Structure 1
């Protein structure tokens, strides 16, 4: 392993990044700093602090930040002004959050004097490119550690075995989705399991934020949106912050069965 003194890890507190946290110390013998971002994923991020503390991370090396306003204002709004849709149908809901996370990883690395950042993206998807190109654009000299491209923990069974041997507590959530999910204030995506078969439609109980159009109100609801310089600033005359504006639209759209999309993704690596 390269000589790394300190690394900033994008940390969610879940199984993968908790294993990565311990693995970095075991294999790089370096100090680990954790960064957890609230971008509107709908889950509490504060528990990540307690998990990091239990895994031996110093209090001053734990960063948890609410980035919802910056996410919508500086990333989502400009993307919508540009009508940025990949290959005509892919809406970049996950993609647009990664440059923001990469930006904060690099900024925190500079603040704490770290010489590397680390992420939990797998070696087969697009996220690894999004994190790393974003980081290198801001600091070409930063070292990026991608454990999924280095280790042999290539199955959930191996991850669980490593976690058990390392004393990493594993929470078993009730009603846990069988799908791989990614959520933020802009969207929520699902993949895996039956969704891998294009002949099978999603199960109705998969959807978290929207009702089926079959169960939506029969009466339409009209709303008025006020724009300034291309960005929405008010709904029905009520002026809202960027994050609150987006959250209100999510609520209204979900209520009326708006916003569901089923597609086959074309990955950067050729899959």
Structure 2
């Protein structure tokens, strides 16, 4: 192994990174500086400094990145309408570049000669972390213990932790692999590894309740958008992070935002995960509803194609690329008129449209009405249909000649 004097570690205090601190010191004899990014995981940060120092870190940075996370990553992705494989709202995916960017900044400030992460060799996060590190520190060495150590499973990680007196908040029976931030919570592993098993929602949910446990009366919520960005809930203006948290409460209480997905990982395998994204699911629905009012057909349909590519880019860890920046520029242009209010009804896991208004609405009741109007001549449609259907007619005439 190469030798390093000072290593900056992306530290969450979870199983992987908890044992990496003593492992780095054993194998490299290096100083370990732990960096925990606060992206809204709340109580998971409690006691983290004491734990990091007791297990061998020389210091712990706890960086509050919540506002940057929401404003610079979540909202641009929301405006794009990007959803991976129809269901996944990219909660883990876009949290990684904001964390890795800060890792590089601290590594440079500390004069570190390597950066370490606890991502497994089977997952997507190793790509997301390392592509961002390459974008800001292209020659910085990266240590990925899961690709080089002898530990082969989470059970063996627990064995290592117990042998080195590393305290853990989990046990072998509740050893789900989780990722939590203010946007979502993911659950993987244990019984979820078999797609035939129904998730034990009443046992695993943390951000809300199952639809069956939700109230028997609906909750109404109104969200205001300015140029595609949500800025107020029920008439109360608030910054992005607070807005997401407020919608998490409302959505979670009503059983909204659960997704059970078998997804295609970047590294080639399929994986099964259960995601809780209550506030995010509400925002995506509200934004989609507002766009139906404010975007013309051609822009709306083309943007849907862009959304698929944007989702792949975010999922694949390619945030800091010219293509992502170019697509964001296109999206921002489309959002210039996406301003207005969307009212939704939340009921037992469902989100039901309850009204939408915008000063930039392209909907004209006068034109669309089934009643009498003076602005649309229905006779014009005959010529339109004749021209629009001309290729079909020509082909049919040709087919008739062939049959004679």
Could you say which TM-score interval applies, normalised by the shorter chain? over 0.9
TM-score (norm 2): 0.63
CA distance in 1, matches of 2:120, 2:6: 22
* TM-score, normalisation: structure 1: 0.92
Deviation at 1:169, TM superposition (A): 2.9
- How far 1:88 moved relative to its partner? 3.0
Alignment check: 8 A CA contact 1:13 1:47 kept: no
Q: Does 1:196 align with 2:193?
A: yes
Task: Give secondary structure in 1 for the equivalent of 2:220.
Answer: coil
Equivalent in the alignment of 1:21? 21
Name the residue aligned to 1:186: 183
Distance of 1:176 and 1:79 partners within structure 2: 36
Structure with more contact order per residue of length (Cα contacts < 8 Å, sep ≥ 6): 1
Q: Is the 2:7–2:116 contact (alpha carbons within 8 Å) kept by the matching residues of 1? A: yes
Matched residues in 2 for 1:258 and 1:227: separation? 21
Q: Is the 8 A contact 1:181 1:190 kept in 2?
A: yes
Are residues 1:250 and 2:252 paired?
no
Aligned to 1:35: 35
Residue aligning to 1:47: 47
**Within-5 A mapping of 1:3-22:** 3-22=3-22
Pairwise CA distance, 1:23: 1.1
Q: 1:190-234: CA deviations, max 9, x gaps?
A: 111221222221113222222222222232222221112211111
Q: 2:16·2:118 contact (CA, 8 Å) conserved in 1? A: yes
Question: What secondary structure sits across from 2:178 in the alignment?
Answer: strand
Offset from partner CA, 1:133-157 (integer Å, 9 cap, x none)? 1111111111110000010011334
Q: How does 1:230-241 map onto structure 2 within 5 Å?
A: 230-241=228-239
CA displacement at 1:270 relative to structure 2: 0.9
Q: 1:97 deviation in Å?
A: 0.4
Provide the C-alpha distance between the structure 1 equivalents of 2:34 and 2:208, rounded to a whole number of angstroms: 33
> Secondary structure of 2:161's partner?
helix
| Residues in 2 aligned to 1:165 and 1:174: alpha-carbon distance in whole angstroms | 15
Shift of 1:75: 1.0
Whichever of the two has the greater Rg, that structure is: 2
Task: Return the offset for 1:239.
Answer: 1.0
**CA deviation after TM superposition for structure 1 residue 184, in Å:** 0.7
Closer/same/farther in 2, CA of residues 46 and 254 from structure 1, 3 Å limit: closer
Match of 1:171 in 2: 168
**Residue 116 of structure 1, CA deviation:** 1.1
Equivalent residue number for residue 217 of structure 1: 215
Structure 1's 119 and 218: CA in aligned 2 closer, same or farther, altered over 3 A?
Answer: same
Tell me if structure 2 keeps the 8 A contact 1:46–1:64: no
- State yes or no: 1:117 paired with 2:115: yes
Residue 133 of structure 2 aligns with which residue?
A: 135
Structure with greater helix share of residues = 2
CA contact (8 A) 1:94 1:182 kept: yes
3-state SS in 2 of match to 1:268 = coil
Aligned residues: 268
Shift in Å, 1:172: 4.8
8 Å CA contact retained: 1:21, 1:32: yes
2:273 is matched with none
Question: d(CA) in 2 for partners of 1:122 and 1:174?
Answer: 20
Cα 1:86/1:33, change in 2 over 3 Å:
same
Unaligned runs of 5+ in 1: none
Tell whether the 8 Å contact from 2:124 to 2:267 is kept in structure 1 after alignment: yes
Residues 48-103 of structure 1 show CA distances to partners (whole Å, capped at 9, x for unaligned) of 11112212333xx3201222122111111111111122233322111110001100
Taking a change above 3 Å as real, the CA distance of residues 191 and 44 of structure 1, as seen in their structure-2 partners, is closer
User: Out of 258, 261, 264, which is 1:263 matched to?
Assistant: 261
